[in-house]
Amino acid sequence: MNKNQVTGHAKEAKGKAKEVAGKVTGNKSTEYKGKAEKQGGKAEAKYGDIKSESKKSKK
């Protein structure tokens, strides 16, 4: 795993936690911020996947 994959998965988990906390407390703002952070984490992890595959194919 590269740095982007690790960071992305961490952001995804943090975002999911915020989303759940927002749902539990009824705080829509926190819920939406969590969803956005989770999507950003997914994107970064996907970038890391692509970067890793690119390095593998160059070998």
Residue 21 has pLDDT above 80, yes or no: yes
Residue 57: band (very low, low, confident or very high) from pLDDT cuts 50, 70, 90 = confident
By three-state DSSP, how is residue 2 classified?
coil
What pLDDT score was predicted for residue 40? 98
How many Å apart are CA 52 and CA 4, to the nearest integer? 9
How many Å apart are CA 24 and CA 6, to the nearest integer? 27
Yes or no: say if 5 and 52 are a contact pair by the CB < 8 Å rule.
yes
What pLDDT score was predicted for residue 55? 86
Residue 4: band (very low, low, confident or very high) from pLDDT cuts 50, 70, 90 = very high
The CA-based angle 20-39-53, given to 5 degrees, is 130
- Residue 20's H or E segment, with its range, is helix 3-25
Mean pLDDT of the chain: 96
What pLDDT score was predicted for residue 58? 80
